[in-house]
């Protein structure tokens, strides 16, 4: 879950908004309640497997318990049950004592694979998992559990900054295919990703649409990771980084401006300010794209309600918000028409058009 800037295609019959397919486990029995209370154990098994890079180790060849222990440098105690649990969770497949990745794990948990999301999971394990133990205190005090000034210190620590960049990339990667199809990009000449971190999204857009001019606006400390990432993508010199503070500085002008995992970090008043600044920055006839884990109308939006609580744990004023709220903000700023659609299971894309 992004700290700075972290739905199925069913829709409400009355308002046409996406409704999450996520729901809480069956809590109709004592066993179900206990299962929910101990769900952190299963989550930790997955996070540990990613931290060990188990799925990468099994990508080229399945392995026995002994072979896996040797590949990963493990003692062996608990490994049999660990592998069996991952198989029971559907992450591994076991046949005749040999373990292999399940198809989804092979697509999304193998380091370097196009669909890899392990960076987001590892960032959550390091940064978010410990904070959940303080939810009681946050609900009592209204204060986040993240250490005061921690983000600023992270920006000055190269290793922590790299971890943060990997977490942002992991959260973004599943969304890229749909974002690449969000618009007829050939109709636009420039794109600005606000809070775009190392420039992954802008880089993918420019790679797919070479005529598109790519820009990223973020804190000055992100310029180093931006340079590294554009070099990896072979785009050095073809995209531009703009360092600044989006509350204090004007946003560079562009045909398309993107707020991805940005607005949920701030209060409603600050969200309104950012949308107004976006309206000023988008060229006439251009578009503001907003995507976040927005809340649906009903109370069963489990994944995104969890995401909203994460914002309470890690930010001073952030929370997930409804599609209706951002639509109202955009229309008040002058965008019209404003439409929305699902981006992936838990993510919504709002398209805000600026009149020509």
E strands present in the chain: 10-11, 18-19, 63-64, 92-95, 98-101, 190-194, 213-218, 239-243, 254-260, 282-292, 338-344, 347-353
Q: What's the pLDDT score for residue 346?
A: 85
The CATH architecture one would assign to domain 174-353 is 3-Layer(aba) Sandwich (3.40)
Residues 137-175: pLDDT tens digits?
999 999 988 766 667 777 778 888 887 788 788 788 888
Instruction: Report how far residue 100's alpha carbon sits from residue 84's, in angstroms, rounded to the nearest whole number.
Output: 12
Domain chopping of the chain, boundaries? 17-108, 118-165, 174-353
Going by the DSSP 8-state scheme, the letter that residue 125 receives in this structure is I
Residues with Cβ < 8 Å from 272, sequence gap 6 or more?
A: 329, 332, 333
The answer to whether residue 27 scores a pLDDT higher than 90 is no
The answer to whether residue 318 scores a pLDDT higher than 70 is yes
Instruction: Report how far residue 339's alpha carbon sits from residue 351's, in angstroms, rounded to the nearest whole number.
Output: 5
Determine the average pLDDT of the residues in 57-85.
Answer: 96
| 261 in catalytic set | no
Judge if 17-108 and 174-353 fold alike in CATH terms.
Answer: no
The per-residue b/e assignment along 74-90, b for 16 or more CB within 10 angstroms, e otherwise, is eeeeeeeebbebbbeee
- The pTM score is 0.75
Catalytic residue among 108, 215, 261, 264: 264
Instruction: Report how far residue 163's alpha carbon sits from residue 33's, in angstroms, rounded to the nearest whole number.
Output: 34
Residues 232-290: pLDDT tens digits?
888 888 899 999 999 999 999 999 999 999 999 999 999 999 999 999 999 999 999 99
Say whether the peptide bond before residue 337 is cis (omega within 30 degrees of 0). Answer: yes
Q: What's the pLDDT score for residue 340?
A: 95
Spatial CA neighbour of 260 closest among 314, 303, 344, 197:
197
Can you say how many angstroms the Cα of residue 71 is from the centroid of all Cα atoms in its chain? 31
CATH fold of 17-108, please?
Answer: Arc Repressor Mutant, subunit A (1.10.10)
Instruction: Report how far residue 63's alpha carbon sits from residue 71's, in angstroms, rounded to the nearest whole number.
Output: 9
What DSSP letter does each residue of 13-67 carry, written as one string?
Answer: TTT--EE--------SSHHHHHHHHTHHHHHHHHHHHHHHTHHHHTTSS-EEHHH
The answer to whether residue 18 scores a pLDDT higher than 50 is no
Instruction: Give me the chain's average pLDDT, please.
Output: 88
């Amino acid at each position: 879950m992004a700290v700075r800037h972290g739905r199925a295609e069913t829709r409400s019959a009355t308002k046409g908004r996406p409704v999450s397919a996520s729901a809480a486990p069956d809590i109709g029995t004592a066993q179900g309640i206990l299962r929910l209370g101990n769900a952190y154990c299963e989550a930790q098994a997955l996070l540990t497997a990613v931290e060990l890079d188990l799925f990468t180790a099994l990508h080229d060849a399945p392995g026995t318990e002994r072979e896996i222990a040797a590949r990963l440098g493990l003692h062996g105690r608990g490994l049999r049950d660990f592998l069996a649990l991952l198989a029971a969770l559907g992450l591994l497949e076991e046949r005749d004592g040999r373990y292999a990745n399940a198809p989804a794990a092979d697509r999304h948990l193998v380091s370097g694979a196009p669909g890899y999301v392990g960076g987001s999971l590892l960032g959550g394990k390091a940064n978010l998992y410990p904070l959940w133990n303080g939810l009681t205190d946050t609900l009592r005090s209204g204060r986040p559990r993240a250490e005061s000034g921690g983000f600023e210190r992270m920006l000055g620590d190269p290793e922590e900054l790299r971890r943060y960049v990997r977490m942002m990339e992991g959260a973004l990667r599943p969304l890229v295919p749909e974002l690449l199809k969000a618009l007829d990009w050939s109709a636009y000449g420039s794109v600005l990703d606000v809070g775009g971190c190392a420039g992954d999204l802008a880089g993918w857009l420019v790679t797919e649409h070479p005529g598109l001019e790519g820009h990223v606006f973020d804190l000055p400390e992100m310029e180093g990771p931006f340079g590294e990432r554009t070099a990896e993508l072979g785009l050095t010199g073809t995209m531009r980084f703009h360092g600044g503070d989006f509350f204090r500085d004007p946003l560079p002008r562009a045909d398309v401006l993107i707020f991805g995992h940005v607005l949920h970090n701030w209060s409603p008043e600050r969200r309104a300010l950012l949308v107004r600044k976006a309206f000023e920055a988008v060229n006439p006839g251009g578009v503001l794209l907003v995507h976040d884990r927005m809340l649906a109308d009903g109370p069963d939006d489990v994944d995104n309600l969890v995401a909203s609580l994460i914002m309470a744990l890690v930010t001073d004023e952030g929370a997930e918000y409804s599609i209706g709220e951002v639509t109202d903000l955009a229309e008040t700023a002058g965008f019209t028409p404003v439409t929305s659609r699902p981006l992936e299971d838990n993510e919504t894309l709002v398209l805000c058009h600026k009149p020509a």
